[in-house]
């Protein structure tokens, strides 16, 4: 027979401390239906009472998803906090489980223990506060806001803290005690609604996590004082619904600092506020994940690329990027893109260990890659056991192991594995006919059609569709199904490329079109299709016109099944600062000696 701590729930719900009660889980319910922001409400029993006002700290969500806390299992609650929430017009105590051990699996227990009854009636009447009084102003309830076990002495003794998981827009009198686990850089914005600057940080305590953003004045006021990894008391900030599109923390809300907000450093946080928790997955698992998934990895920097300067195709903004190749004990490598200052500063050939929290999975050319976001935490050579383990592995074995890459990068597209192909091979393999294919060829510019090289395009971001002049002076975009008062000129060049096997018309847009218009004209003259002998001779004598072209081919079903081939890159490139060693490698591979 399994014994539960009978009577524990009545005591807990009435503010009486119970040390490590043994309870049975009778069920759970997901409170949020978003993928990232799940919170779980549990139905628990002490054998005498059942209670559904029980929440699991979000850090413990995996105990639900990994089927540890299954129906009928028996658990020991090592640590909990009581939070007071509004339930209709009543105040209701909620037990937030902060630390729990599963003692007997549900399948072994197999049934509900005892005949517990619903404790609602009791709990409600006793825990309802007098109207108009918030929980924090009632002395006997203040103590219930403090976690019940392992309470640390606060440096400011009268600060009563609320667990992050209990925050909501419906309360404003709270103080949280939380650790800053990440802090973005200060960013400025400017749009039709105004301009300003901001930064955001991610906060955790033992109950959960939340994003906090500071705008304008608050940005200046708080940026320098807040340090990653330190603990602060934060109060008088505003809660609002989290926008899940941009915030993947496990919380339905996010926090905004205001002029009234108070942030006080906590110098003696002890161990009651956890540090950043990683949930590492092996690099080999990334292959099965979806693009845009957010993951944690622990890996060795196998190699570190040069800093690249590029211009965003969408925004026209200058960008700094650095790709590093990560490897772990799965002997699989993945490319990680770093951006901005981090890209600039991360120039390491000494194979450091990286512990990365919250990198985003990207997909390119059929491969997977990783990219950092502003919320990504990157620890270099962290002093954690797993880091020492992977360091040992790399130093002894890993550095010599053969690896396989999940990423198809620009760099490894032109490596010695032979991905440089001929037009004949592209056509023989029907590239582009079943989905998108990207391939590289060494070719010459055979002919350039410069007529109509400027067109009026849709002014909306990311849409390059040609607009139709309307009689009313508006411009219609068929793709957006919308009329605009304006348009954007875009460059479009149709060029005929040829190698010694075949030729191909490709379309070029903006950057590439510009390069081509600048770089070369049709000095070789137009050749007839398949005039290979004549062409081969000219090709051989005209190395100054040969380039590596990156072609994107795709069958466009809406356009009478025409294979659309677009030039999306030209190497060697005078215009973009690709790695010197990469250019050297391409020169070597392609036999180009005068780029």
Output the CA–CA distances (angstroms, integers) from residue 61 to 223, 280, 408, 508, 552, in the order listed: 31, 15, 34, 49, 43
Nearer to DNA, 412 or 450 (CB): 412
State the CB neighbour count (10 A cutoff) for residue 35: 9
Residue 327: CA count within 13 A, CB half-sphere: 22
Least separation in angstroms between CB 576 and DNA: 8
Closest CA to 429 of 561, 553, 533, 558: 553
Distance CA 2, CA 76 (A): 12
Task: Specify the residue, 90 or 581, whose C-beta has the smaller distance to DNA.
Answer: 581
Q: Select 51 or 247, whichever has its Cβ closest to DNA.
A: 247
Binding to DNA (CB under 7 A) within 286-315 occurs at 308, 310, 312-315
Query: 40 or 439, CB closer to DNA?
Result: 439
Provide the β-strand partners of residue 79. 99
Q: Which stretch binds DNA (CB under 7 A): 101-109, 186-194, 344-352, 489-497?
A: 186-194
Chain centroid to CA 469: 40
- Position 187 contacts DNA (CB under 7 A): yes
| Residue 427, SS3 per DSSP | helix
Instruction: Indicate which single residue of 189, 260, 366, 531 sits in contact with DNA (rule: CB under 7 A).
Output: 189
Does 550 sit near DNA (CB under 7 A)?
yes
- CB contact at 8 A, 535 and 529: no
Report the residue from 110, 139, 194, 385 that binds DNA according to the rule CB under 7 A: 194
Distance CA 142, CA 454 (A): 70
Indicate the burial class of 439 (C-beta count within 10 angstroms; 0-12, 13-18, 19 or more). Answer: buried
The residue from 307, 568, 577, 589 that contacts DNA (CB under 7 A) is 568
- Ranges within 59-98 binding DNA (CB under 7 A): none
User: Could you give the residue ranges of the DSSP H alpha helices within 119-243?
Assistant: 120-127, 139-142, 216-222
Minimum distance of DNA from residue 168's CB (angstroms): 16
- Phi/psi at 19 (nearest 5 deg)? -85, 120
Radius of gyration of the chain (CA): 31
Q: How far is the CB of 249 from DNA (least distance, A)?
A: 11
Q: Which is nearer to DNA, 191 or 557 (CB)?
A: 191
Nearer to DNA, 308 or 379 (CB): 308
Q: How far is the CB of 75 from DNA (least distance, A)?
A: 36
Residue 426 CA neighbour count, 13 Å, CB half: 29
53 vs 549 by CB, closer to DNA: 549
The site map against DNA for 319-358 (x = CB under 7 A) is x-x---------------x-xx------------------
Q: Which stretch binds DNA (CB under 7 A): 92-100, 187-195, 269-277, 489-497?
A: 187-195
Nearest to 371 by CA among 307, 294, 441, 424: 294
410 binds DNA (CB under 7 A): yes
Binding segment toward DNA, per CB under 7 A, in 58-66, 138-146, 212-220, 483-491: 212-220
| H-run or E-run covering 238 | strand 238-241
Q: Pull the structure tokens for residue 407.
A: 């990423």
For the bound state, the minimum distance from the C-beta of residue 185 to DNA, rounded and expressed in Å, comes to 9
Least distance from C-beta 183 to DNA, angstroms? 12
Residue 431: closest CA among 513, 422, 558: 422
Of the candidates 182, 235, 409, 565, which one interacts with DNA according to CB under 7 A? Answer: 409
302 near 325, Cβ under 8 Å? yes
| Contacts to DNA by CB under 7 A | 184, 187, 189, 191, 193-194, 196, 198, 200, 213, 215-216, 218, 240, 243, 246-247, 254, 256, 258, 308, 310, 312-315, 317, 319, 321, 337, 339-340, 360, 362, 364, 369, 371, 373-375, 409-410, 511, 550, 568-569
């Amino acid at each position: 027979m399994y014994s539960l701590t009978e009577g524990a729930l009545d005591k807990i719900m009435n503010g009486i401390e119970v040390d490590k009660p043994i309870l049975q889980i009778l069920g759970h319910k997901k409170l949020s239906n978003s993928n990232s922001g799940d919170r779980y409400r549990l139905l628990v029993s002490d054998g005498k009472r059942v209670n559904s006002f029980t929440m699991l700290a979000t850090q413990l969500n995996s105990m639900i998803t990994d089927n540890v806390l299954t129906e009928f299992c028996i658990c020991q609650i090592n640590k909990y906090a009581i939070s007071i929430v509004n339930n209709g017009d009543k105040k209701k105590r909620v037990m937030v489980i902060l630390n729990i051990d599963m003692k007997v699996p549900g399948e072994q227990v197999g049934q509900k223990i005892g005949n517990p009854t619903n404790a609602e009636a009791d709990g409600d009447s006793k825990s309802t506060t007098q109207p108009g009084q918030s929980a924090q102003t009632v002395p006997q309830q203040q103590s219930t806001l403090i976690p019940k076990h392992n309470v640390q002495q606060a440096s400011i003794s009268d600060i009563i803290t609320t667990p992050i998981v209990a925050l909501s827009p419906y309360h404003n009198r709270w103080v949280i005690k939380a650790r800053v686990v990440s802090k973005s850089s200060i960013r400025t914005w400017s749009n039709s609604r105004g301009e300003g600057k901001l930064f955001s940080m991610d906060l955790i305590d033992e109950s959960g996590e939340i994003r906090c953003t500071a705008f304008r004045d608050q940005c200046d006021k708080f940026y320098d004082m807040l340090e990653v990894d330190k603990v602060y008391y934060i109060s008088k900030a505003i809660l609002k619904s989290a926008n899940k599109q941009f915030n993947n923390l496990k919380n339905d809300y996010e926090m905004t600092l205001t002029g009234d907000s108070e942030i006080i450093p906590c110098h003696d946080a002890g161990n009651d506020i956890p540090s950043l928790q990683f949930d590492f997955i092996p690099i080999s698992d990334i292959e099965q994940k979806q693009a845009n998934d957010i993951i944690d990895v622990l890996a060795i920097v196998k190699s570190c690329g040069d800093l690249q300067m590029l211009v965003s195709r969408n925004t026209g903004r200058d960008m700094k990027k650095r790709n590093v190749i990560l490897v772990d004990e799965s002997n699989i490598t993945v490319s990680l893109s770093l951006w901005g200052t981090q890209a600039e500063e991360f120039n390491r050939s000494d194979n450091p260990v990286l512990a990365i929290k919250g990198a985003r999975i990207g997909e390119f050319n059929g491969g997977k890659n990783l990219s950092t976001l502003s919320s990504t935490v990157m620890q270099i050579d962290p002093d954690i056991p797993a880091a020492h383990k992977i360091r040992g592995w790399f130093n002894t074995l890993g550095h010599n192991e053969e690896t396989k890459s999940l990423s198809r990068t620009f760099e490894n597209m032109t490596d010695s594995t032979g991905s440089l192909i001929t037009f004949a091979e592209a056509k023989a393999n029907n590239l582009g006919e079943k989905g998108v294919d990207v391939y590289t060829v060494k070719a010459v510019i055979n002919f350039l059609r410069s007529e109509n090289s400027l067109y009026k395009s849709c002014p909306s971001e990311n849409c390059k569709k040609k607009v139709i002049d309307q009689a009313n002076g508006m411009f219609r975009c068929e793709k957006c199904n919308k009329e605009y008062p304006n348009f954007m000129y875009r460059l479009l060049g149709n060029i005929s490329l040829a190698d010694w096997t075949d030729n191909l018309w490709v379309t070029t847009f903006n950057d590439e079109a510009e390069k081509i218009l600048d770089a070369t004209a049709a000095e070789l003259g137009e050749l007839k299709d398949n005039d290979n002998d004549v062409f081969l001779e000219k090709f051989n004598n005209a190395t100054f016109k040969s380039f590596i072209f990156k072609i994107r081919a795709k069958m466009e079903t809406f356009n009478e099944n025409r294979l659309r081939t677009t030039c999306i890159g030209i190497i060697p490139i005078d215009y973009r600062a690709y790695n010197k060693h990469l250019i050297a490698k391409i020169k070597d591979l392609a036999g180009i000696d005068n780029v």
